[in-house]
């Protein structure tokens, strides 16, 4: 059983054991790593003179690894391996030190010395994040800042991300498609839940 807590409107996995952290690493973070690798490959171009050009990273993971590789003077692959291990070890170390740690559906996590107030909590049989009914792409807002060229999408306070972890797009149509994808991934499967409670609106 996995313990999920809602902090300020966002659901997190609250690990009750190191095994929970390992499960999150293998089931959730590995998808982030794979998306970053795909991003790196898709944005690597060999020019006619043999020069290898890497276009701007589109995912958080590719960006983080690229920065680490430049700082440490390592290849991208070695930096990715190092950062993967560090990501897992940091979470385990925080847990072992007794810190409150809550893991998001991506790379981000919430950490605190004190336990924050939960808006809600659930125990779930599978490592599947609960969602509220607001995750309907019809409820999404599309934003383009004055003078900006990119589009952003939000549902409530939640930033929409697509399958590659992107949070901005060149066109509104792309932002809408990202919202549809995001909401399809958030579907609520009640059969997975123990002590399911209908969300209060």
* Confidence at residue 59, expressed as pLDDT on a 0 to 100 scale: 85
E strand or H helix at 34, and its extent?
helix 30-42
Q: Are residues 20 and 91 in the same domain?
A: yes
- Return the sign of the alpha-carbon dihedral for residues 155, 199, 22, 111: positive
Please tell me the distance from the alpha carbon of residue 103 to that of residue 173, in angstroms, as a whole number. 31
* Confidence at residue 189, expressed as pLDDT on a 0 to 100 scale: 33
Q: Are residues 90 and 38 in the same domain?
A: yes
Q: Are residues 118 and 143 in the same domain?
A: no
pLDDT (tens digit, 9 = 90+) per residue, 87-143? 999 999 999 999 999 999 888 899 999 999 988 888 888 888 886 544 667 768 899
Token pair 């599978």 in the structure block, residue: 126
Q: Are residues 15 and 91 in the same domain?
A: yes
Using the 3D structure, point to which of 124, 150, 166 is the last residue of a domain.
124
Q: Residue ranges of the chain with pLDDT lower than 50? A: 133-134, 187-201
Q: Are residues 38 and 114 in the same domain?
A: yes
Q: Are residues 113 and 151 in the same domain?
A: no
Q: Write out the E strands in the chain.
A: 2-7, 10-13, 44-46, 52-54, 100-103, 109-112, 120-124, 141-143, 152-155, 158-159, 193-194
Side-chain half-sphere CA neighbours of 82 within 13 A:
15
* Residue 170 structural domain: 137-187
The total number of structural domains that make up the chain: 2
pTM confidence score:
0.62
Using the 3D structure, point to which of 98, 124, 150 is the last residue of a domain.
124
């Amino acid at each position: 059983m996995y313990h999920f807590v809602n902090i300020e409107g966002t659901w997190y996995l609250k690990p009750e054991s190191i095994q929970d952290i390992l499960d999150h690493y293998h089931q959730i973070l590995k998808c982030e790593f794979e998306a970053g690798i795909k991003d790196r490959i898709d944005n690597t171009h060999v020019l006619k003179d043999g020069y290898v050009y890497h276009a701007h990273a589109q995912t958080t993971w590719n960006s983080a690894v690229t920065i680490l590789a430049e700082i440490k003077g390592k290849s991208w692959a070695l930096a990715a391996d190092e950062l993967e291990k560090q990501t897992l070890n940091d979470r385990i170390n925080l847990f072992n030190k007794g810190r409150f740690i809550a893991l998001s559906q991506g790379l981000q996590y919430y950490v605190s010395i004190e336990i924050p107030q939960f808006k809600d909590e659930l125990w779930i049989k599978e490592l599947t994040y609960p969602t509220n009914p607001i995750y309907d792409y019809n409820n999404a807002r599309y934003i383009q800042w004055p003078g900006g060229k990119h589009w952003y999408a939000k549902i409530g306070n939640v930033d929409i991300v697509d399958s590659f972890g992107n949070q901005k797009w060149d066109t509104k149509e792309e932002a809408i498609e990202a919202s549809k994808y995001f909401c399809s991934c958030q579907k609520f499967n009640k059969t997975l839940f123990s002590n399911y409670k209908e969300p209060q609106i």
